[in-house]
Chains A and B, each alone.
Chain A
């Protein structure tokens, strides 16, 4: 349940942004790399629980998981790496070499918030 900690940071960031615009937030789009191992259901559940009674109560989260990328050591191409599929042999999309380095995982980003207008 490390999602609880992520939910707390998220709640703070959404509250800050919404306060800047003097409006109530109703939705938020976030993205993060796959290695964050975030389970959508667990994150939404944790967020809902801690948002109760705050201006973020009722905010709907839309979570995008950014693929993991690798960089080829032979030709420098950067490409998507599929992890967790034992049958897929990740390799460079250009030259096919399997000598590559995993690039750092995508950070947690608050991409967009939706505000109530009425």
Chain B
């Protein structure tokens, strides 16, 4: 038996494509945000509301990742925003190669902002850079306030945390300590922006919109 020292960084296929996407987005001066959460936290609802309410301010396009269906893409299409559907056929995350192909199908020149809705999963998508400018993690209150502590990777890597479905807190049906979430998330990621919102009632969405508009302007 012989041991050989290799010490070589493995540039995975994914990283090569991610790098291409970074260059493309920089060239085009477009903002691209990758939305990650557990299934059902409200990503699509947040997107449709954001698109409609910012219609006169920023032009948004969407890349919809889904394991099998095009239900979410249909919901986006109803807002009249351009959307490209990616079916991962069972895979639990989107890959940079899929994003590269989807970007070619979007009318990128006409857009200010491209959202990627990743497959509903709090773990796997966080390990795959897509070449985006930032990750947005969504946590809905019914999932529990221990999620940043239990799934630290995605909270450590995200620019923004949207705490969604806060309308459920007022009735007291859900025990959720939002201060605990803020403390745990900031412990992992000092600079993370945290916006408590309800995509259903619209509460808190204004601060999220301000952040989006500012981020688009910086591009």
* Pick from B4, B92, B95, B190: contact of A113, CB under 8 Å: B4
Known contacts A10-B10, A108-B12, A111-B6; is-contact A37 B1 (Cβ 8 Å):
no
User: How many B residues have CB within 8 A of the partner chain?
Assistant: 35
A16 to B, closest residue via Cβ? B8
Q: How far is the CA of A21 from the CA of B2 in the complex (A)?
A: 10
A83 pairs with B188, CB closer than 8 A? yes
Q: Is A90 an interface residue (CB 8 A)?
A: yes
**Overall SS of chain A's interface:** mixed
Q: How big is chain A's contact interface, by range?
A: 35 or more
Minimum distance in angstroms from A112 CB to a CB of chain B = 6
* Pick from B10, B93, B127: contact of A109, CB under 8 Å: B10
**Overall SS of chain B's interface:** mixed
Q: Is A50 an interface residue (CB 8 A)?
A: no
B9 pairs with A37, CB closer than 8 A? no
Q: Is B189 an interface residue (CB 8 A)?
A: yes
A110 pairs with B1, CB closer than 8 A? no
Residues of A at the B interface (CB closer than 8 Å) are 1-2, 5-6, 8-10, 13, 17, 21, 23, 26, 30, 34-38, 68, 83-86, 89-90, 98-102, 107-117
